[in-house]
Amino acid sequence: MAVPPKFLIQTAQFVWHRLWQTLMSQLAPSDPTGNFQRVESQFRHWVGSEQFPAEPNRYRLYIGLTCPWAHRTAITRILKGLEDVVDLSVAIADVSVGGWRLENDPTGCRSMKELYQLGQAGYSGRCSVPVLWDCQTYQIVNNESAEIIVMLNDAFNRFAKFPERDLYPEPLRPEGDRLNDLIYHTVNNGVYKCGFARTQAAYDQAATALFQTLDQLDQRLGDRRYLLGDQLTLCDIRLFTTLIRFDLVYHGLFKCDRRRICDYKNLWGYLRDIYQLPGVSATCPLKTIQQEYYTSLFPLNPSGIIPLGIDIHRFQSPHDRHTLAINSDDS
């Protein structure tokens, strides 16, 4: 006798929901109400200390192309002109190994998990990117992106091609730090709170906060070129790496679908402005980013189907954001 379709559907729903909850608990831990909880970074040393002096060709930066947090460090490295000072390794998101895979790494490690365990014997925590690695002592210096970009901005200045380019200027730090806190919780981490929400209430709360902040930022950028005025800062880099992925990935995969960034007059121009700065677009392999998100985050896209996505050539269209600085000077 044929099994009633209703029974099949209910069984499949039950089994898949239980399996999804199990997968999500490993991928994205949550609190009891279903809100995504990002794990704190474990390695918080600083270049410039006695233990880790600033030296050229001593440190290696490990990033993943998918990861917006790692992308911050890659952009800062380029804008400061540290390509010949801090080496770079790119890890590959690989669902078959359950994490970040390394190829032909100088340490001999085949994954970020092996690198973490090389740096700290017996390490069993999360093996995330970015990582700033000391090639002399085989230690992890730091794996917190917000701190790595500050180090890249100032610790290597005497070796940098662009030491005069201060992305974290002292007079702007109080306002920048306040804005960073808002953007981190509601936008940078906010898109992940939407995508990894385990309950409807958790999603509704995260999505509402996300778009409220985007609305505020769009308004803020109506009369200034960058978030803190006419000067590009780390605050902008931290926001940019989320915005560049938004229409391509977060809008669909993470259910951040109230609006796209291209629907915002000022945010859309601001995004293109930063993308077109010398060296930045080279850090944004958009098709690879899209592919890795849609294939590596299996619980969010079990079919593995990758959407057509947006026309990436649109990021090269004129933006005229530079006129805001001119108009500000005139006023």
Q: Which of 59, 62, 67, 127 is catalytic?
A: 67
Cβ count within 10 A of residue 191? 25
Q: Token pair 């992308």 is at which residue?
A: 71
123 is catalytic: no
Alpha-carbon gap, residue 155 to 54, rounded angstroms: 6
Q: 141 in helix, strand or coil?
A: strand
What is the distance, to the nearest Å, from the Cα of residue 248 to the centroid of all Cα atoms in its chain?
A: 14
CA neighbor of 70 nearest in space, from 114, 25, 112: 112
For residue 165 the two structure tokens come to 């380019």
Residue 93 in contact with residue 289, Cβ under 8 Å? no
Q: Catalytic residue at 192?
A: yes
Q: Give the integer Cα–Cα distance in Å for 63 and 72.
A: 9
Instruction: Find out whether the peptide bond into 278 is cis, omega within 30 degrees of 0.
Output: no
DSSP annotation of 95 reads: T
Catalytic one among 59, 62, 168, 192? 192
How many whole angstroms from its chain centre is CA 54? 25
How far, in Å, are 69, 81, 149, 326 from residue 145 at the CA level?
Answer: 6, 18, 6, 33
Q: Which whole-number Å values give the CA distances from 165 to 69, 179, 286, in the listed order? A: 21, 21, 26
Find out whether 39 and 105 touch, Cβ atoms under 8 Å: no
H helices within the chain, ranges in order? Answer: 5-27, 68-80, 112-119, 145-154, 173-183, 190-195, 200-220, 234-245, 251-253, 265-275, 286-296, 322-330
Q: Which two tokens stand for residue 131?
A: 């990582």
Give me the active site residues, please: 67, 192
